[in-house]
Amino acid sequence: MRIAVPPWLLYTLLGSLLVVALYLAVAVGRAPLALLDTLQAAIGGEDNVATLVLTELRLPRALLGLLVGASLGLCGAALQGLLHNPLAEPGIIGVSGCAALGAVLAFYTGMAAAIPLALPAAGVLGAFIAVALVYALAGRQASTLAIILAGVALNAAAGAMTALVLNLAESPFAFLEIIFWQMGSLADRSWAHVGVALPFMLLGWVLILSVRRDLAALSLGEETAASLGVNLSWVRFAVIAGSAAAVGSAVAVSGVIGFVGLVVPHLLRPLVGYDPGRLLPASALAGAVLVLFADVAVRLVPTGVELKLGVLTALIGAPFFLYLIFRLRRELT
């Protein structure tokens, strides 16, 4: 089913949704802020409680939500383009889990306290190993079964080792923090987190977006794409390294937030004519919108401890995943 949506309309729509989401992300919170007044005061350089909450708590959280959501949406679309498979998603294929393991190792050994960039770097390294492994195991022939199985194995291994590291960590609080790492959250993040993750995310985005037309050509298969002038090795590297950089750093500062990279590209594909290249920037935008709205929602649910973001995305994403498997089951065997 194709819905002919001209690009300008699609991006205007997504852009407007993003603006609304950003507004809500900055306006919703425990402290009752008069948003416009506070914004004015902040710009004017005033320093009071309201501007403090706005500039040190709400703004970094909103911006991080945008960055993380965009990274997850973009990488989901890119991996699906490379692996020719609509089920490839950083969480499902084990990339996020391995990124979390890397981040946990850097954080609880104190490395990240000594060298702040070590945190996202470790996440990127973990993510890279995962993507490279999945590609090596199942990339060329891209059998769905192989990809999903690789993901299951990686997630199991990474999850177990993460729990082990947390158990062995010196702090008595470490073990319970597995909830943060495996379910993800944007609460109480600061500009420092934005700062360390941003360079890697930007690098990832640049790498991936640079090969978007190549991914479109790749729809015709590797041989035809090569005959059209696509540099296959570079495309593989750009998508693998780019996804690792963006997802790895995102997970390092916000934990594993799953299913964004599955739901967003799938919903947008009919709107971009199934073109894997056009899907990339649209998925980035829509991913940002989704994560921001979800982050607002967790602040509105009246639980004692704030609901974890990954719980919400999983509540939406897991049934969606099941639905996809059901619809594609004939092609999956």
- Residue 143 engages other proteins in binding (rule: CB under 8 A): no
Helix H or strand E encompassing 248: helix 232-254
Count of residues near other proteins by CB under 8 A: 55
**Residue closer to other proteins, measured from CB, 74 or 245:** 74
- Residue 174 engages other proteins in binding (rule: CB under 8 A): yes
Q: Please name which of 162, 130, 134 lies closest in space to residue 149, comparing C-alpha atoms.
A: 134
- Residue 301 engages other proteins in binding (rule: CB under 8 A): no
- Residue 195 engages other proteins in binding (rule: CB under 8 A): no
- Residue 167 engages other proteins in binding (rule: CB under 8 A): no
- Alpha-carbon distance values, 189 to 2, 139, 300 (Å): 40, 36, 18
- Residue 269 engages other proteins in binding (rule: CB under 8 A): yes
Q: What is the DSSP string of 116-181?
A: TTHHHHHHHHHHHHHHHHHHHHHTTT--HHHHHHHHHHHHHHHHHHHHHHHHHSSSTTGGGGHHHH
In the shown chain, the binding pattern of residues 101 to 120 toward other proteins, with x for contact by CB under 8 A and - for none, equals ------xxxx-xx-------
What 8-state DSSP symbol labels residue 29?
S
CA distance 94 to 326: 21
Smallest distance, Å, CB 303 to other proteins? Answer: 9
**171 phi and psi angles, rounded to 5 deg:** -70, 140
Give the interface segment with other proteins, choosing from 66-74, 133-141, 186-194, 309-317 (CB under 8 A).
186-194
Give the interface segment with other proteins, choosing from 67-75, 120-128, 270-278, 283-291 (CB under 8 A).
270-278
Q: Please name which of 333, 328, 330 lies closest in space to residue 87, comparing C-alpha atoms.
A: 328
Residues 6+ apart with CB under 8 A from 68: 186, 250, 253, 254, 257, 291
Smallest distance, Å, CB 171 to other proteins? Answer: 4
- The binder of other proteins chosen from 173, 302, 331, 333 (CB under 8 A): 173
Lookup: tokens for 49: 């409680």
In the shown chain, the binding pattern of residues 232 to 251 toward other proteins, with x for contact by CB under 8 A and - for none, equals --------------------
Per CB under 8 A, which of residues 31..60 are in contact with other proteins?
Answer: 31-32, 47, 49-50, 52-53, 56-57
57 contacts 193 by C-beta, under 8 angstroms: no
Smallest distance, Å, CB 217 to other proteins? Answer: 5
Smallest distance, Å, CB 133 to other proteins? Answer: 22
Question: Site residues (CB under 8 A) for other proteins?
Answer: 2, 29-32, 47, 49-50, 52-53, 56-57, 84, 107-110, 112-113, 169-174, 177, 180, 187-188, 190-192, 213, 216-221, 223-224, 226-231, 269, 273-276, 304-306
